[in-house]
Amino acid sequence: MATGIDRMAPFGTRTGLGRLSSEHRPGVGRSAGGERTKMSGSTPNGAPIEPLVIPDHVLRVHRRLVDAGHRSLLAGGAVRDHLLGRVAKDFDLATSAIPDAVDRLFEKTVLVGAQFGVVRVVEPEGEVEVATFRADIGSADGRRPEAVRFTDEREDALRRDFTINGLFWDIDSEQVVDHVGGREDLAAGTIRAIGDPFERFKEDRLRMMRAVRFATVLDFPIEEKTWQAVVAEAEFIGDVSGERIRDELEQMLVSTHRLAGYHLLSDSGLMQHILPEIEQMKGVRQPPQFHPEGDVFVHTGLVLSHLEEPSFELAMGALLHDVGKPGTFEDASDRIRFHGHDELGASMSEKICERLRLSRRQTERVVYLVRRHLVFMNILQMRLARRYRVFEEDGFDQLLDLCRADCLGSHQDMSLYNDCLALWNQWKERAPSTEPLIQGRDLMKLGMIPGPEIGAMLEQLEDARRESVVSDRDEAIAWVKARLEGQG
């Protein structure tokens, strides 16, 4: 069995995931061997594998475990990412030491999860997760096992989700320990469940989302049997909390290959259960003179694909910007229309964000992007002060990014976007200070009575400053006096 990374084919020799929705599955059989191979050779893109740099506090924890007579291995994501030439982030240890033994070895630990064999060791530089080799027994809630049985490293690898995540690294011998064929699947670029995928997904329903997430982020196809299990079990994703779904969705949507993830979620049936509002976009026609690309679902995917390194909030705004179109579709006499889809979409987006447990700040930004995504249609005709008020809105820079992607994902006429970008850049060069020239007490000294009229006058004054009618305090007071005299 080929396990050496130096036998990996470059990504360019296989078909990219995002090109055909049927490419989930060029899989071949795999045997588990527990083979040990040096972490050497090259990554899938041909770059040499550099030595794995493990943080000092992780090495200290490892060394204490080993010195106490326990087996200690680096587990999971750090091994996978390093072999792929990616930056390793999650340095978790798997050990033969039971939780009580781990707790006794270290001065400060957190025992949350100890019943499942997990102890967090607290070091000055950060926490290190130390998990006892275990086999899971049953599934209590589609997320956690009913019980665990402490065992050896091979059984521990076999309980994990995907072969590429079932790799260990022996820190002292600098060898990859592979009981599940994970190194070969890394070489082939394949997402494959360990053992029976139906059993893996019953143990934790989130693993279906994780399959799509890894396929998206790594640009790997999903092996056939694993894919079939995702499709068959997709309806049970509803058992998973909104927070956990959100975390997986975020990694997909900010990935370079987010369009592939968008289609995988839909093709698998997961989208229907986590975001049915997106599935309802399918078949919703749009006016071809503005949307030659097709229906709202197709358009939304293209808009997502044209974002450049988006934040999660911007990606969610793009995903949901036209979510109100199915509910406002009107085949009018002149053309298809969607009157009010921005406001309906904003209301729907708020509920979706709450369902996925986005933070209040994130929700507000997504709702803003959806509600305001049509503002560019009239921005060139706006009075200067009103246009500048739009430019001052918190989040306008992301709104402009959404406008760009919206144009590229439809008619591809970029003239409106380019004009808006030029006007925004001009505004940034001359934008006045946000400090008020005068305040309400100044207006009362000029004879105004406390009340809503003061706020209205201050806003009119700000518009005058936006249009360069006034620029300092003296000019502001003179402007107000003239207004008050005119009213008299």
pLDDT of residue 483: 84
Cα torsion 153, 157, 158, 159: sign: positive
pLDDT of residue 322: 98
- Whether 302 is covered by a domain: the verdict is yes
End-to-end CA distance of the chain: 93
Give the pair of three-digit tokens for residue 304.
């997502």
Residue 84 has pLDDT above 90, yes or no: yes
Which of 146, 178, 195 is where one domain is finished?
A: 195
**Are 376 and 446 part of one and the same domain?**
no
Burial class (CB in 10 A: 0-12, 13-18, 19+), 101: middle
- Whether 181 is covered by a domain: the verdict is yes
pLDDT tens, 361-383? 999 999 999 999 999 998 899 98
pLDDT of residue 39: 53
**Are 46 and 130 part of one and the same domain?**
yes
Q: Are the CB atoms for 389 and 434 separated by under 8 Å? A: no
Which stretch, 30-34, 268-272, 444-448, 479-483, has highest mean pLDDT?
A: 268-272
**Are 399 and 454 part of one and the same domain?**
no
Which of 386, 412, 430 is where one domain is finished?
A: 430
The 10 Å Cβ neighbour count of residue 398 is 20
Comparing 464 with 56, the larger pLDDT belongs to: 56
Burial class (CB in 10 A: 0-12, 13-18, 19+), 276: exposed
What total of structural domains would you count in the chain? 3
- Whether 261 is covered by a domain: the verdict is no
Nearest to 324 by CA among 311, 315, 337, 313: 337
- Whether 144 is covered by a domain: the verdict is yes
- Whether 268 is covered by a domain: the verdict is no
**Are 398 and 455 part of one and the same domain?**
no
Whole-angstrom distance, CA of residue 257 vs CA of residue 16: 10
pLDDT of residue 141: 60
- Whether 236 is covered by a domain: the verdict is no
Mean pLDDT for the stretch of residues 413-419: 94
Q: What is the DSSP letter of 431?
A: P
Which of 129, 163, 195 is where one domain is finished?
A: 195
Residue 113 has pLDDT above 50, yes or no: yes
Residue 151, CA atoms < 13 Å, CB-side half-sphere: 15
pLDDT tens, 281-298? 999 999 999 999 999 999
Whole-angstrom distance, CA of residue 100 vs CA of residue 114: 8
Side chain identity at residue 434, one-letter code: T
**Are 345 and 448 part of one and the same domain?**
no
CATH number at residue 324: 1.10.3210
pTM: 0.82
- Region of 357 (left: φ > 0; alpha: ψ -120 to 50; beta: rest) is left
The residues, any chain, with a CB within 8 Å of residue 193's CB and separated by 6 or more, are 161, 162, 163, 200, 201, 207, 211, 223, 225, 226, 229
Mean pLDDT for the stretch of residues 37-48: 54
Side chain identity at residue 73, one-letter code: L
- Which residue is listed with tokens 């505004």? 427
pLDDT of residue 110: 93
Provide the residue range defining the domain that includes 128: 5-195
**Are 16 and 151 part of one and the same domain?**
yes
CATH number at residue 173: 3.30.460.10
**Are 343 and 369 part of one and the same domain?**
yes
**Are 54 and 180 part of one and the same domain?**
yes
- Whether 247 is covered by a domain: the verdict is no
pLDDT tens, 51-65? 788 999 999 999 999
Nearest to 36 by CA among 183, 192, 155: 183
**Are 33 and 173 part of one and the same domain?**
yes
Give the pair of three-digit tokens for residue 405.
């992607």
Mean pLDDT for the stretch of residues 163-175: 94
The residues, any chain, with a CB within 8 Å of residue 156's CB and separated by 6 or more, are 94, 131, 133, 134, 135
- Whether 466 is covered by a domain: the verdict is yes
The 10 Å Cβ neighbour count of residue 202 is 16
Model confidence at 49, pLDDT cuts 50, 70, 90, reads low
**Are 166 and 75 part of one and the same domain?**
yes
**Are 364 and 304 part of one and the same domain?**
yes
**Are 409 and 293 part of one and the same domain?**
yes
pLDDT of residue 34: 55
Side chain identity at residue 355, one-letter code: R
Mean pLDDT for the stretch of residues 399-408: 97
H helical segments located in 269-395? 270-274, 276-279, 296-305, 312-320, 341-355, 360-372, 384-391
